[in-house]
Structure 1
Amino acid sequence: MHRSLLLFVFGIFLLLSASAQDMAGKANRFIQLLTKEQQAQTLYPFDTGERYHFSYVPRDDRKGISVNELSDVQRKALFALLTTTLSGETVKKVNDIMQLDLVLKELEHRQDNDHYRDPGKYFVTIFGVPSAHTIWGWRFEGHHVAFNFSADKNELVAGTPGFLGANPAIVLEGPLKDKQVLKAETEQAFDLLRSLSPEELQKTLIAASAPAEIITGASRQAMIAHPAGIRYSELSPAHQQQLLALISLYVHRFTKLFADNMLKDIQKAGMDSLWFTWAGSTEHALGKPCYYRIQGPTLIIEYDNTQNNANHIHTVVRDLKNDFGGDMLLEHYKAAHR
């Protein structure tokens, strides 16, 4: 099963982005392929509290239906749905992260019948009735992958919280030796850090030790009350461009149209309101824990590499206006159903 899972995902990751209307069509195609029993596992009302569930660690109590429970045809339909919200490169990263569970299973000497590490333990849950005329959403979640999508009519309103992690960050042995799923997120940040002037670096570094985890965690509301580090306006023009490129890397995890809308929101809120923060080691090496954050009025991006001898990365994008669709979308949904 794991080999076929790898092959069918790899074969579709280059598909192009699509509108929310396409997302609804792909969602309905997926639903139609499910049995009645599978639909009962997968479908929830939009206004359920379950929609706000967010977790990126291994669990046995996730709601929805897992990849393990799907046929090849159903899996292809699921990943076709994923390509309507995430870029082709991100879908490939999702697949690679799923396969890292097999690496961990080997490293931890787990038995074949032990499914704590399992690339099929990733779950899809659909909230509401997918269509181009309704408010609805869906979630794809498992170990080190967690995305929450919300749509209002033909518009994708939210794709966050959006989490990707990698353990190992760098595969040190075996058939996937030297594999780095989140290599760009690491190297672009270090390139920026190394290019800073001494004055810029002094402002950017806030602590000699990195936090043990992303600060926003799996909270319902992403909140870091006091921005820290260096302001966008305090960076040289060249370093401003590097920071924007790093932001773009994260935002373009999503399809281009949605990513462009997020970038417009960032610009509208004011570039001088952006902060770049670094904590921990400034040396790019195994065993050197580090953390960075980009924070503004509309978003928080976090990167943390501290666990497992600093070879275990957590990254997240939080849209401060529209996480889980935002409160206003839920109000619109309730008003339409009164």
Structure 2
Amino acid sequence: MKEKAKIKLGVSIGDLNGIGCEVILKTFEDSRMLDFCTPVIYASNKLISQQKSALGLNVNFHGIREASQAVDGKINIVNVWKETLQIEFGAATDEAGKYAIKSLRAAVSDLKSDTIDVLVTAPINKKNIQSDAFKFPGHTDFLAQELEGNSLMLMVAESLRVGLLTDHIAVKDVANAITPKLIREKVKTIEESLRMDFNVRRPKIAVLGINPHSGDNGTIGEEDDKILKPSIRELFDEGILVYGPYSADSFFGSNGYKNFDAILAAYHDQGLIPFKTLSFGKGVNYTAGLHKVRTSPDHGTAYEIAGKGVADSSSFKEAVFTGIQVFRNRMEHKELIKNPLQKQKPKKAS
């Protein structure tokens, strides 16, 4: 297994006009972070110099042509482009979206080839990234296409883990999108991730209802009774410790979530509103179910404070630590599968 200092942690730069560069540089401004990983940031020396100067940060970096040249103990910048870009803090420009995707594509290419071990993505603007060559609502959908596996958006803050049955779709489409096939796929993905990525030996999973009060026995919609309950029952009968559906309005307030290793919410806001309330800005967005490790902070571009030097890097730093830990857990898991402990045969009595 790789030594801690040898883990190459790739970073895509995100929206140039948001707080992405700021939280990245603030994270690695602390030299102790270089004891845990070798950061490889996909951008350009010129851009990082611009951001460093504008934000008044004291960060030294090492420019390289490709990630294979990364030096341990330094903040490495892969020069994905050479041109000088115009930074307009707080503005959702087409140029910022274009270069955010250039950074992301270069980082994902290296992740696929094992040139880097982990990918941490800084926030993007879901509108200005759109083009004829990139038509995805966000990172997760793009990564699901590029990397093997069944992706699942899993929000993590210590022992609190909230996954989503559906993520970036309109609320009006949620009920029709949730099918027995989708439920089975997402429950199995989160169960496997808990075992492989978080070292939970026998995961317990809660599923939240689709409708208020989980439908009140069909009074407020029939989806919970006709789709969720039978699917949960089948999975439980197969040996997966999955329970529900639980009424979402009281589940977190009553501390019921503390009895489970993960919660699977029916849709985006049902899961993320309580998660972000409880995690206090230190949560991490982890893409479970892929054959590679990707994390990101739990916040967006924060245009309203971009360029002011006041952005909190706590969530990005947690994303780095989570990515490193998941990578290590996966390596240990692979070793255990490859070299399981052999049961010793009892010695014969002499």
TM-score, with length taken from structure 1 = 0.28
Does 1 or 2 have the higher relative contact order (CA < 8 Å, sep 6+)? 2
TM-score, with length taken from structure 2 = 0.27
